[in-house]
């Protein structure tokens, strides 16, 4: 394929062509895929709707491009190297031919269980090969997958299943995580007490736990797979048919289902993957994200398979059996392109070089970072101790909604600068706006990060609520997609992402709305109200700081009472969202700082949490200014 940018000259030419003739640029890239029917028109768009369509009238199946297309040239090439949680367990290797066969079989199982094109299928599975196979199997038959990360609670899973009205759930009996074994099917059972749309549950056996199988609803995947053959023609899909839904948090209470469609997503996932990482045929790629997040969709399930690459999938955690596991796996499988999150880098940096030095890491060629700003210290550590100062680092900025990387240097082609995501990919037109919505055209400025022209994998809607999509992303600044991030642009035009400007916090690269954490906290017995803000955290990037008002004041000095209440709150968050969202700090207060109209002054709470007590700003408009003094004194 020749959508590859191989030099600075190529890059400049691509930037120029994509600006002058975006449709020509993208159709040139799209032509390199296998289409069942060519598209009639490249693009129609209107950000006011929003209404964006790419490759209109085209028909394709993304899995033909991920799998069938490679069989002739790469049938015996490894598609997947699966590394289990326990380093002593055997790893699994699948060639493209084997992966193709497994996906076809799984797709036939889905069909056999009554799942049809357009049906929504929830996937709640740990990082086992069957997860990847399930995702691709849904795509093969045109079912819309909605992967829910296994760290989410039964309640969150139920909300997501109900919002999408999923007809089936694919899951596992349990999961291994470090030295723990955890239930998975049991969480599904609990969720399904509230999910009338689900007719089938297919269970992959991983930990061999005794699980309850509900007659008429539940079946074991290994038994089902014996009933089918490996012949499953790919379902023809319209370019704009939905491919998947992925739920993500926003500033309001309820997570929204971001919808990506078949044609545009395929083109952009592949284009961005190949170019950002400068993939070569012999590379071994490893993305450490979970398939439950967008990174695991675009740069595990789809990007690498579309490119015919070999990739590693890891079931475990970076610190098991010790903090050298990532580096051990890199040496073991000869990983050449490694893509992880700043939070992981910081925690492994904190574990000390003793865990790095035993490994050679000589196979590495390119390093990547994603999910949150990478601080300079972590960047330099990554560069020198992991990349041995010979691997370029790509700091990739993007979002669930963008479907793929929008801002990043291209490994070894465009320059890099610590803490800077750097340049937009050719075809991407970001702008910085003032809060009044005026475009800032100079450099060395700061503003709100927006995009003024569509790219193929921009979100199309939020499931079941198009108005919400319009309101959230397209209504703040007319004619622009608003990212929710603030950014700076330096003298050379490199972007540096500062972080969210809305009520969203980024904890270890995962996004949570403060409102959803508050609603979970408020379900705890004895809680009247709460306010949640983010604060700088050494490892997680941002930590969760909760201010909580209780019904009865906690007796001063009664450590036990406060501990119990904290426990209740953490359990409430674990049940409502999942342990991943549990507050790091909980401060009990007698009231929250509110304006006379009852609005919580989060700015003040944020400043206190950040320990910037000197710059609280004007507090005279508060209903009860005295509460601020109390909050300052009780700061944790």
Instruction: Give yes or no for residue 85 binding ligand WT7 (CB under 6 A).
Output: no
- Which residue in the set 59, 489, 500, 607 belongs to the binding site for ligand WT7 (CB under 6 A)? 500
Locate 224 and state its tokens.
């089902």
Locate 4 and state its tokens.
């590859």
DSSP assignment of 208-263 equals -------TTTEEEHHHHHTT--S--PPPPEETTSEEEEEEE--SSSS-EEEEEEHH
How far is it, in rounded angstroms, from Cα 302 to Cα 66?
7
Q: How far is the CB of 586 from ligand WT7 (least distance, A)?
A: 24
- Which residue in the set 163, 173, 189, 485 belongs to the binding site for ligand WT7 (CB under 6 A)? 485
- Which residue in the set 134, 483, 530, 550 belongs to the binding site for ligand WT7 (CB under 6 A)? 483
Q: How far is the CB of 252 from ligand WT7 (least distance, A)?
A: 16
Contacting range for ligand WT7; rule: CB under 6 A; set: 110-118, 308-316, 427-435, 499-507? 499-507
Contacting range for ligand WT7; rule: CB under 6 A; set: 378-386, 437-445, 496-504, 519-527? 496-504
Looking up tokens 């909760």 gives 546
Window 510-549: contact mask with ligand WT7 (x via CB under 6 A): -x--------------------------------------
Determine how β-strand 445-451 pairs with β-strand 495-500.
unpaired
β-pair partners for 120? 144
How far is it, in rounded angstroms, from Cα 163 to Cα 61?
25
- Which residue in the set 484, 513, 576, 593 belongs to the binding site for ligand WT7 (CB under 6 A)? 484
Contacting range for ligand WT7; rule: CB under 6 A; set: 9-17, 88-96, 483-491, 532-540? 483-491
Q: How far is the CB of 478 from ligand WT7 (least distance, A)?
A: 21
Contacting range for ligand WT7; rule: CB under 6 A; set: 223-231, 393-401, 409-417, 432-440? 393-401
Peptide bond into 50 cis (omega under 30): yes
Q: How far is the CB of 634 from ligand WT7 (least distance, A)?
A: 30
Is 219 or 507 the residue whose CB approaches ligand WT7 more closely? 507
How far is it, in rounded angstroms, from Cα 260 to Cα 266?
10
Is 172 or 288 the residue whose CB approaches ligand WT7 more closely? 288
Contacts of 415 (CB under 8 A, 6+ apart): 409, 422
Cβ atoms of 554 and 517 closer than 8 Å: no
Is 326 or 512 the residue whose CB approaches ligand WT7 more closely? 512
Instruction: Give yes or no for residue 497 binding ligand WT7 (CB under 6 A).
Output: yes
Instruction: Give yes or no for residue 488 binding ligand WT7 (CB under 6 A).
Output: no
Q: How far is the CB of 63 from ligand WT7 (least distance, A)?
A: 23
CA-angle at 66, arms to 32 and 406, nearest 5°: 70
Question: Which three-class secondary structure state does DSSP give residue 9?
Answer: helix
Locate 251 and state its tokens.
């500033």
Euclidean distance between the first and the last CA atom of the chain, given in angstroms as a whole number? 56
Instruction: Give yes or no for residue 391 binding ligand WT7 (CB under 6 A).
Output: no
How far is it, in rounded angstroms, from Cα 331 to Cα 221?
33
Cβ atoms of 398 and 368 closer than 8 Å: no
**Residues present in the chain in total:** 636
Is 303 or 484 the residue whose CB approaches ligand WT7 more closely? 484
Cβ atoms of 494 and 488 closer than 8 Å: no
- Which residue in the set 224, 372, 416, 518 belongs to the binding site for ligand WT7 (CB under 6 A)? 372
Question: Which three-class secondary structure state does DSSP give residue 11?
Answer: helix
Q: How far is the CB of 398 from ligand WT7 (least distance, A)?
A: 4
Is 134 or 399 the residue whose CB approaches ligand WT7 more closely? 399
Footprint on residues 402-431 left by ligand WT7 (CB under 6 A): 421
Is 123 or 554 the residue whose CB approaches ligand WT7 more closely? 123
Instruction: Give yes or no for residue 399 binding ligand WT7 (CB under 6 A).
Output: yes
How far is it, in rounded angstroms, from Cα 231 to Cα 107?
9
- Which residue in the set 47, 265, 277, 397 belongs to the binding site for ligand WT7 (CB under 6 A)? 397
How far is it, in rounded angstroms, from Cα 285 to Cα 591?
51
Footprint on residues 342-371 left by ligand WT7 (CB under 6 A): 370-371
Contacts of 189 (CB under 8 A, 6+ apart): 212, 214
- Which residue in the set 396, 457, 472, 550 belongs to the binding site for ligand WT7 (CB under 6 A)? 396
Site size for ligand WT7, by CB under 6 A?
Answer: 23
Instruction: Give yes or no for residue 294 binding ligand WT7 (CB under 6 A).
Output: yes
- Which residue in the set 506, 508, 514, 530 belongs to the binding site for ligand WT7 (CB under 6 A)? 506
Contacting range for ligand WT7; rule: CB under 6 A; set: 92-100, 231-239, 314-322, 506-514? 506-514
Contacts of 396 (CB under 8 A, 6+ apart): 276, 339, 368, 369, 370, 405, 407, 408, 421
Report which of 439, 552, 437, 537 is spatially closest to residue 489, judged by C-alpha positions.
439
Which residues contact ligand WT7 by CB under 6 A?
A: 248, 294-295, 370-373, 395-400, 421, 483-485, 497, 499-500, 506, 509, 511
């Amino acid at each position: 394929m020749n959508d590859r940018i191989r030099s600075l000259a190529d890059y400049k030419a691509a930037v120029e062509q994509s600006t002058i003739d975006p449709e020509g640029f993208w159709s040139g890239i799209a032509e390199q895929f296998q289409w069942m029917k060519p598209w009639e028109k490249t693009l129609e768009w209107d950000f006011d709707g929003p209404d964006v369509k790419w490759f209109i009238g085209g028909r394709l199946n993304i899995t033909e491009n991920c799998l069938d297309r490679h069989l002739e040239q790469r049938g015996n090439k490894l598609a997947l190297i699966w590394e289990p949680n326990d380093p002593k367990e055997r790893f699994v290797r699948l060639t493209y031919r084997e992966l193709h066969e497994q996906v076809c079989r799984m797709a036939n199982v889905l069909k056999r269980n009554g799942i049809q094109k357009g049906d929504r299928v929830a996937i709640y599975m740990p990082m086992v090969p069957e997860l990847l196979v399930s995702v691709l199997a849904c795509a093969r038959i045109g079912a819309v997958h909605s992967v829910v990360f296994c760290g989410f609670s039964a309640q969150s899973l139920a909300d997501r299943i109900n919002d999408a009205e999923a007809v089936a759930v694919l899951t596992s009996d349990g999961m291994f995580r470090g030295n723990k074994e955890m239930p998975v099917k049991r969480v599904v059972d609990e969720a399904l007490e509230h999910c009338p749309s689900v007719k089938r549950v297919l269970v992959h056996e991983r930990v061999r736990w005794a699980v309850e199988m509900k007659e008429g609803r539940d079946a074991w995947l290994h038994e089902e797979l014996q009933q089918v053959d490996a012949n499953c023609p790919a379902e023809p899909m319209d370019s704009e048919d939905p491919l998947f839904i992925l739920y993500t948090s926003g500033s309001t209470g309820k997570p929204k289902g971001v919808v990506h469609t078949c044609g545009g997503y395929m083109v952009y996932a592949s284009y961005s993957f190949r170019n950002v990482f400068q993939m070569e045929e012999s590379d071994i790629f490893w993305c450490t994200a979970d398939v439950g997040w967008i990174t695991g969709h675009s740069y595990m399930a789809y990007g690498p398979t579309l490119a015919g690459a070999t990739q590693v999938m890891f079931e475990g955690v970076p610190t098991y059996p010790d903090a050298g596991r990532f580096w051990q796996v890199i040496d073991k499988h000869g990983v050449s392109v490694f893509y992880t999150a700043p939070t992981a880098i910081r925690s492994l940096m904190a574990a000390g070089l003793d865990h790095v030095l035993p490994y050679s890491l000589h196979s590495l060629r390119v390093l990547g970072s994603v999910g949150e700003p990478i601080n300079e210290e972590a960047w330099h550590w990554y560069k020198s101790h992991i990349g041995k100062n010979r691997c370029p680092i790509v700091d990739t900025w993007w979002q669930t909604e963008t479907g793929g990387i929008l801002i990043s240097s291209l490994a070894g082609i465009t320059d890099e600068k610590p803490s800077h995501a750097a340049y937009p990919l050719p075809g991407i037109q970001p702008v910085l706006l003032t809060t009044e919505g005026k475009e800032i055209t100079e450099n060395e400025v700061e503003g709100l990060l927006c995009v003024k022209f569509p790219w193929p994998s921009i979100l199309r809607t939020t499931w079941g609520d198009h108005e919400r999509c319009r309101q959230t992303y397209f209504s703040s600044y007319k004619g622009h997609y608003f990212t929710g991030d603030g950014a700076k642009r330096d003298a050379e035009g490199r972007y540096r992402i500062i972080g969210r400007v809305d009520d969203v916090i980024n904890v270890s690269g995962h996004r949570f709305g403060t409102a959803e954490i508050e609603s979970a906290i408020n379900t705890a017995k004895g809680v009247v109200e709460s306010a949640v803000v983010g604060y700088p955290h050494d490892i997680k990037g941002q930590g969760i700081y909760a201010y909580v008002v209780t019904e009865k004041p906690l007796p001063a000095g009664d450590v036990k009472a406060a501990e119990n209440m904290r426990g209740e709150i953490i359990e409430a968050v674990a049940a409502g969202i999942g342990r991943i969202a549990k507050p790091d700090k909980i401060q009990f207060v007698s009231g929250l700082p509110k304006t006379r109209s009852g609005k919580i002054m989060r700015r003040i709470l944020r400043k206190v949490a950040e320990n910037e007590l000197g710059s609280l700003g004007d507090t005279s408009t508060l209903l009860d200014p005295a509460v601020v003094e109390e909050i300052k004194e009780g700061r944790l």
